[in-house]
A and B are shown apart, each in its own frame.
Chain A
Amino acid sequence: MSMPFYVSPEQLMQDKAEYARKGIARGKSIVSLEYADGILLMAENPSSSLSKIGEIYDRLAFAGVGKFAEFDQLRKVGVRYADVKGYQYSRDDVRGKALANAYSQAIGEIFTREWKPLEVELIVAEVGDDRLAGHEKNAIYRVQFDGSISDHTGYCVIGGGVDSLLSYLSTNYKPGLPLGEALRLGKAALERAVNGDFRLDVQNLEVGVLERQRAGRKFRRLSADELRGILAP
């Protein structure tokens, strides 16, 4: 009878984390920004059908980087969770914090129990609504491959080149930007993630916004034409 090798828990976790980090680093980054009238999510994505950004519920949006099959599965689970909750209670009871926590628990559980960790990193964005007293504030949560969760004000970045994007945003971000300026800032940040004189083509941008003033479902995708119009100098 063969005995399996002993592997210390520390080593095991380190190996898993390294594996997940490598998988995530291969992908492009996603940036999320609070602007004057809502929250915007922006990804570099040459595919028009395989989305990285999606609608979860009235005020909630999702963005994922890493393995498409894995984060898309997480997105669908989130939609099911939100729709069931909204059906059983009320639409205003579906909140970002609960969803981000549920993601954190599920992803963390897989990280410790499963052989292969999820190679994903997520953003859950919740836009505030001035018509609901106590729900006026925006919230942006980031959930990492090991289930660690953090909340962010102003901006949040996930994916490969997080550090360079964050340093760029920390010097250039201002609260209360109009949509056009926020889009320009987001695009410049994503371009910063790639070395050299890189320009992103609008065709390869996937952008979703949660619009504060919109009634009901606040999520909306911006088409390439719309983006071109807004970004035109």
Chain B
Amino acid sequence: MNGAPRRPTARGVGLRLRGLFPGTSSGYLGSSFFELLQQEFPLGSAATAVVAPAGAAPVAVPHGTTVLALRCSNAVVVAGDRLATEGYRVASRDVQKVYATDDHSLIAIAGAAGPCIEMAKLLRIELEHYEKIEGEALELEGKANKLSQMIRANLPAAMQGLVVVPIFAGYDKRRRMGRLWKYDVTGGRYEETEYEATGSGGLFARESLKKSYRPDASREDAVRAAIEALTDAADEDRGTGGVDTLRGIYPTVNVCSEAGIEIVAPERVAEIHRELIERRRSRA
């Protein structure tokens, strides 16, 4: 029998190839990076929630505090403070809570900082991966829905205190408008038509936005409203970091419109904050 040519196998060329390529052993065929990780690397990736043994004491980890998003004319503004706390202590003063996930969408995170930042990173790769595999990008709603599934997969960890509750926002090119979604720990996804704020100071930021929100607001006015809301939240909530003039740390403010994502310069944020303080001082 030696030297006989092998018969063609029923398994296609593609399947064999996937077995040979490093890091792609079980032959995942879809377009999702998250599912690829779940199937090929069940251990040690954020795609599979870490579960502590029953009865284990909850771990103290840094938490991100207040983030918000609001719609304005033809755009959406996403902002967040910079503080991370561990219990009553400051864990970090200049943590980043607003991340661009692609050219036209952003995620703002509140909750356990580690899993939150990991999820932001994972969503970014997820969107890029889909675009490269399929040859075209997901619709904004598709991106929001994918995030929903990722949060749901984190539920076991959330039950142990490692909560991830982001806001997802972006510019919908098909409908030509800014849109935003909030989430709960079960992956529940709720589109907001006006504004949303979450995290420890979220309630106060929402109260502030309730007063200042106007649906047809200019971009500049919306940025002002966002900074005011974060300032109000920092005023009422000890976990929210306001403007740190000593170190020159300012809240992150991003505007997402048809043209893409624009990061408002820290100098401009400082200026708007100064005007706000002046206004309030003159009122007193």
Contact = CB atoms under 8 A, between A and B. Distances in A.
Interface string A53-78: 01110000000000000100110110
Given A7-B3, A85-B23, A79 B129 contact: yes
Given A51-B135, A102-B22, A115 B6 contact: yes
A3 B4 CA distance: 9
Contacts of A217: 128
A83 B128 contact: yes
B8 A115 contact: yes
Given A105-B20, A106-B21, A115-B5, A84 B37 contact: yes
A3 B2 CA distance: 10
Interface stretch (B9-17, B106-114, B260-268): B9-17
B18 interface: yes
B5 A83 contact: no
Nearest to A49: B135
A102 B28 CA distance: 18
B3 A84 contact: no
Nearest to A73: B14
A114 B6 contact: yes
A79 B133 contact: yes
Interface string A95-132: 00000001001100110011110100000000000000
A79 B90 CA distance: 40
Given A51-B135, A55-B132, A85-B23, A70 B1 contact: no
A84 B13 contact: no
A110 B133 contact: no
Contacts of A79: 129, 132-133
Contact of A80 (B4, B5, B24): B24
Nearest to A83: B129
Contact of A118 (B5, B13, B18, B128): B13
Contacts of B7: 115
B275 interface: no
Contact of B13 (A5, A12, A85, A116): A116
A6 B2 CA distance: 8
B171 interface: no
A73 B8 CA distance: 19
A76 B133 contact: yes
B5 A12 contact: yes
Contact of A87 (B20, B21, B28, B37): B37
A12 B33 CA distance: 39
A205 to B, nearest CB: 17
Interface residues of A, number: 38
A54 B22 CA distance: 20
B37 to A, nearest CB: 7
Contacts of B8: 114-116
A9 B24 contact: no
A81 interface: yes
Contacts of A86: 125
B69 interface: no
A70 B135 CA distance: 16
A115 B3 CA distance: 12
A113 B22 contact: no
B1 A87 contact: no
B24 to A, nearest CB: 5
B41 interface: yes
Interface in A39-55: 49, 51, 54-55
A4 interface: yes
Nearest to A80: B24
Contacts of B36: 80, 83-84
A81 B22 contact: yes
A8 interface: yes
A7 B6 CA distance: 11
Interface string A124-165: 000000000000000000000000000000000000000000
Interface in B82-125: 121-122, 125
B3 A8 contact: yes
19 contacts: A79-B129, A79-B133, A80-B24, A80-B28, A80-B129, A80-B133, A81-B23, A84-B37, A86-B125, A87-B45, A88-B41, A102-B21, A105-B20, A106-B20, A109-B16, A109-B20, A110-B17, A114-B9, A116-B8
Interface of A: 3-9, 12, 49, 51, 54-56, 70, 73-74, 76-77, 79-81, 83-88, 102, 105-106, 109-110, 113-116, 118, 217
Interface of B: 1, 3-9, 13-14, 16-18, 20-24, 28, 33, 36-37, 40-41, 45, 121-122, 125, 128-129, 132-133, 135
Given A5-B4, A12-B3, 15 more contacts: A4-B1, A56-B132, A70-B13, A70-B14, A77-B18, A80-B21, A80-B28, A80-B133, A81-B23, A87-B45, A102-B22, A106-B21, A110-B16, A113-B16, A114-B8
